[in-house]
Amino acid sequence: MTFFIVILFVFFVREYLVSGASDKVSDIAVLLLKSSIFVFGTIILFSIVTLLVSYIPYRKSKAVPEIKFTYTSVNEVICEVVCSKLTFPFTGTVKAGLTFDKQHEALIGLKRLKHRRGYGRKKLILPNIKSYDLEKVTLFFQDSFRMFSFKIEFGHRISVVILPVAEKDIELSNISHTLDNDEIRTDTVHRKEGELLHFKHFESSDDIRRIVWPVYAKTKELIVRTIEMRSMYASQIDMYASFCNTYRDLLEKTVSDTFLNDYKTYIWEVYKSLKKDNEVRFIPDQKSKIAVEYQHEVSAQISGMDWHSNKIEEYFGNGKMSVICISSLTPSQDIEKIIDKLDINTFVVFASLKSSVKKIGIKDVIKEIFTIPEETKINWKWLLSTNRKKILDNDAALRNILISRNLNYIEV
């Protein structure tokens, strides 16, 4: 911008001189023009020299920036960039640009440290619950006047996983267990039936503090409460979640991504709720697209899932299922085919698209006249979608199937 302003100034002065000005005015204009060219040339030379003094040594050193991701909370990712053998431009700056999945970028300014080191730290804002691949890191060397910028690109293959966050507990009842108690040992203790639920006659080995004296006052029999037990064994629940979506190409990408984020959150909330008192085995319907180091974590597995158009018959027919999760985008005709194969005690979690998009109100219409708020953009896209009726019809069909077959289900 500075460069173009000076060029424009030179152009106007030249035109003014050509048009025929008085000698005095002409001399002042020429002096001003020469002074401007000198100052501007000095600035350009100063900027280029200071950048080259920093840029060339770093490029020759072949040093590579170190990238580190840390989770400060459940879903907050901090990116740290460290550059060694780095000489900063005099009064200039060095910035690191990170490119994720060829479309998401983050720019981090570096600070000077001792021993020719640069350090930058920034919280990443990545919109979707998924695994992001860092494809390249670009260092920008900029002068103090922001006239020039030299860059060096480095290829990187690091993944950062945005995890789902359980915002609430989901009440689930009458869940069938894949295995009975005492067949699977867990790392934590689980409460079992005992205190206040069962009584027995007093024995010499019982603690007298557990005698129920009101019962003794009436019956003259010594009755004690059965002690509460803590077991290292728990029932196993097999949890399935289908990401089948035959409407993938019919939905606008923003709406599809938003619903996918919500669906992953629902699945994680169900898993967390079940995990409190049971051993839960999550069985995915696809190979998770996450790095190997994250694959043992269920939350990361869920993050790596994506919509697909594969049939669900084989996935839902692999064995006894305690809990299955389906969405509004699961084809109702496919559910109709496998519904009779489900165990009578199978619990169904139905995630409806209606909970992800809100209705457009009068306030939203008024706001839309002047601006397009980010919080209502997806609602408008869903409202104006040409395939909206098809998806709502499928949503209603799924709900009718669950009700008509008298299945144990919950809608989230």
What's the pLDDT at 74?
A: 64
Compute the distance between CA of residue 211 and CA of residue 197 in angstroms, rounded to an integer: 14
Compute the distance between CA of residue 130 and CA of residue 170 in angstroms, rounded to an integer: 23
Compute the distance between CA of residue 398 and CA of residue 229 in angstroms, rounded to an integer: 42
Please choose, from the candidates 163, 198, 153, the residue with its C-alpha nearest in 3D space to the C-alpha of residue 73.
163
Domains and CATH numbers, the chain: 61-161 (2.60.40), 179-184+236-411 (no CATH), 193-228 (no CATH)
pLDDT along the chain (412 residues), means of 10: 66 63 62 74 84 90 89 79 90 89 87 90 87 90 84 86 83 62 44 49 72 78 65 68 84 84 92 85 84 73 89 78 88 86 82 70 52 59 74 89 84 84
H-helix or E-strand spanning residue 259 = helix 253-275
H-helix or E-strand spanning residue 59 = helix 23-61
For the whole model, what pTM was predicted?
0.70
DSSP 248: T
What's the pLDDT at 194?
A: 40
Helix then strand then coil, % of the chain, to nearest 5? 35, 30, 35
Please choose, from the candidates 125, 57, 46, 129, the residue with its C-alpha nearest in 3D space to the C-alpha of residue 88.
57
What's the pLDDT at 271?
A: 92
Compute the distance between CA of residue 391 and CA of residue 247 in angstroms, rounded to an integer: 7
What's the pLDDT at 47?
A: 83
What's the pLDDT at 326?
A: 92
What's the pLDDT at 111?
A: 92
Please choose, from the candidates 179, 178, 214, 181, the residue with its C-alpha nearest in 3D space to the C-alpha of residue 199.
214
Other beta carbons less than 10 A from residue 160's beta carbon: 20
- CA dihedral (405, 408, 411, 412) in degrees, to 10, reads -150
What's the pLDDT at 12?
A: 66
Establish how many alpha carbons lie within 13 A of residue 155's alpha carbon, considering only the half-sphere containing its beta carbon.
0
Q: Burial level of 312, CB count in 10 A (0-12/13-18/19+)?
A: buried
Residues linked to residue 117 through DSSP beta bridges, in sequence order: 113
What's the pLDDT at 186?
A: 44
Please choose, from the candidates 106, 18, 121, 104, the residue with its C-alpha nearest in 3D space to the C-alpha of residue 68.
121
